[in-house]
A and B are shown apart, each in its own frame.
Chain A
Amino acid sequence: MSLPIKFRPILLIFIFIFGTVAIALTSGVLAYQASLIPGSRLINPDDLVKILRSPNSTKPLMIQVGSHVLYTQAHIPGSEYIGPASSESGLQLLRKRVEPLPRNKLIVIYCGCCPWSHCPNVKPADDALKTMGFTNVKVLYISNNFGADWVEKGFPVAKGD
């Protein structure tokens, strides 16, 4: 049974709209997946600690892109709080903070709110910095959460704002 010709444009429009929505939804989900960040852009906690403890190494700008309540409880000393990069307001603050910096500045972003593949914040932050042209960005690979993978390992911690 074939569709009458007069209904075919309607069917095509329906297919187009459905396909567009499906792609948009899929892209939205994927955009949050930290596991899509290439390994070359990651840094492990051990390696970051070595850099922080080395008197001769250039210190990175470290930015926490997660929740303020989590940051206040514990964060990497010297790191700055920006806000959840899963929100547009958080991304705007991030862009504003790094805008004046040279594009080869070493920047480390981290969150640790959730297990790595479920973190909604680091991938949008990394994408934003990449889009701005930053060439020396590292994302701190936190496997489970900041408590288990940083604090409980005895790495340096600061509290408060």
Chain B
Amino acid sequence: MTRHLAVFPGTRGKGIAGQSQAPDFSLPDLTGQKLDLSSYRGKVVLLDFWATWCDRCRDEIPHFVELQNKYGGQGLQIIGVSMDDGPEPVLEFYQRFKMNYPVVMGNAKTGELYGGVLGLPIAFLIGRDGRISAKHIGATDISVFEKEIKNVL
């Protein structure tokens, strides 16, 4: 598996400079309820931009479920941002993979807020203070995520 690990590698867009504040968003989850990123302030958030048709995204999901199980009690909250065109395949996928963290339906505006999500997957690790501490473009080994999460928990 090719890995593209990058911590702020020439990121574009406002608000995505090193250690910058994670842009807030309010997006519908799979039940249509709004999820506000700001309501998770105080937790460590792993924000995962993904899509059901992206095989490398799909490969990461069981690992994220595992991380949520393992570190949720210590303050980790994983949030998936689906870049699918509609919620139907996401809901089916969510149930089939027994996902244990919220997934919202992303849009272009949110992608642009995060410097342009023009390739998947892309994940951001956000500290308890709301600042972005790492960005990963492409599939990333779970051990890398786990190490970074433990560092900021």
Contact = CB atoms under 8 A, between A and B. Distances in A.
Question: In which size bucket is the chain A interface?
Answer: 20 to 34
Question: In which size bucket is the chain B interface?
Answer: 20 to 34
A120 B53 contact: yes
Interface in B101-153: 106-108, 111-112, 116-120, 137-138
Interface stretch (A9-17, A19-27, A70-78): A70-78
B128 to A, nearest CB: 29
B56 A113 contact: no
A72 B53 CA distance: 18
A73 B112 contact: yes
B2 interface: yes
Interface of B: 2, 4, 10, 12, 51, 53-56, 83-85, 106-108, 111-112, 116-120, 137-138
Best-buried of A73, A83, A115, A146 by chain B (most CB within 10 Å): A73
Given A73-B111, A144-B4, A152-B10, A112 B116 contact: no
Best-buried of B10, B56, B106, B118 by chain A (most CB within 10 Å): B118
Contacts of A115: 2, 56, 119, 138
16 contacts: A67-B85, A70-B117, A70-B118, A73-B112, A73-B116, A73-B118, A74-B118, A83-B85, A87-B53, A112-B119, A113-B119, A114-B119, A115-B138, A147-B118, A147-B119, A152-B12
A153 to B, nearest CB: 12
